[in-house]
């Protein structure tokens, strides 16, 4: 198992990063929140989880060990594969998911595209004794200074919404709806939080799944 990758970031895409390790470029699937903390050319260390299928090997990357462990625990629930587990972590922090499961909060889970009311109820039952108690914080870490990634929040957010199954036009509308929030953060000299914007954008989308 590949527990982590460490090296300079060689490239960034809407849903993945390439990290140079020992002369080899390792492609790692990441959430928008994790990608927002990476910069091309800068050193990065990502906790990883390797998902093996008959026709593919996919490496998923996370900002820290807590996210990686949560990603793997989520998949112990029936019907939750790596893509849905990653979507859950794109929308909510590990502690927010632990809190939702501990308190039986269906609304938090149904905010994730692909999870309906019945699915949320089932997940609450199956994950109740698996995720553990909330640690008391849903934060993903301190905001980074504004930079190249801040300027590209629209593209990252749009790609994340499309990746979660929304139509490009729906994604356009959601991005426009949260633009004032992002611009206010930028005006304060803070890089817009793509993960926070994603949660806000999903709240504006009332699509039934």
pLDDT digits (tens, 9 = 90+) for 134-156: 876 544 433 333 344 444 778 87
> What's the pLDDT score for residue 49?
96
Q: Which of 179, 162, 173 is nearest to 205 (CA)?
A: 173
CB 100 within 8 A of CB 108: yes
CB 100 within 8 A of CB 89: no
Residue ranges in the chain whose pLDDT is less than 50: 138-151, 207-209
Q: Please state whether 132 falls in left (phi above 0), alpha (psi between -120 and 50) or beta.
A: left
Q: Which residue has the tokens 């990686």?
A: 68
Q: Which of 91, 53, 47 is nearest to 69 (CA)?
A: 47
């Amino acid at each position: 198992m590949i527990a982590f990758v460490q090296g300079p970031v060689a490239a960034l895409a809407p849903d993945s990063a390439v990290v140079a390790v020992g002369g080899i470029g390792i492609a790692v699937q990441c959430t928008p929140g994790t990608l927002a903390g990476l910069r091309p050319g800068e050193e990065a260390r990502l906790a990883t989880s390797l998902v093996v299928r008959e026709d593919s090997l996919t490496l998923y990357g996370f900002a820290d060990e807590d996210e990686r462990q949560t990603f793997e625990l989520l998949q112990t629930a029936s019907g939750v594969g790596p893509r849905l587990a990653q979507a859950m972590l794109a929308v909510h922090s590990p502690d927010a998911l632990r809190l939702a499961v501990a308190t039986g909060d269906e609304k938090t889970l149904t905010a994730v595209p692909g999870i309906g009311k019945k699915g949320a109820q089932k997940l609450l039952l199956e994950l109740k004794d698996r995720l553990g108690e909330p640690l008391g914080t849903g934060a993903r870490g301190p905001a980074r200074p504004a930079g190249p990634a801040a300027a590209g929040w629209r593209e990252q957010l749009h790609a994340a919404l499309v990746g979660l199954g929304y139509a490009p036009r729906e994604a356009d509308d959601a991005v426009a709806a949260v633009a004032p929030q992002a611009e206010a953060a930028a005006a304060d000299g803070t890089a817009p939080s793509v993960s926070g914007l994603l949660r806000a954008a999903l709240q504006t989308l009332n699509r039934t799944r």
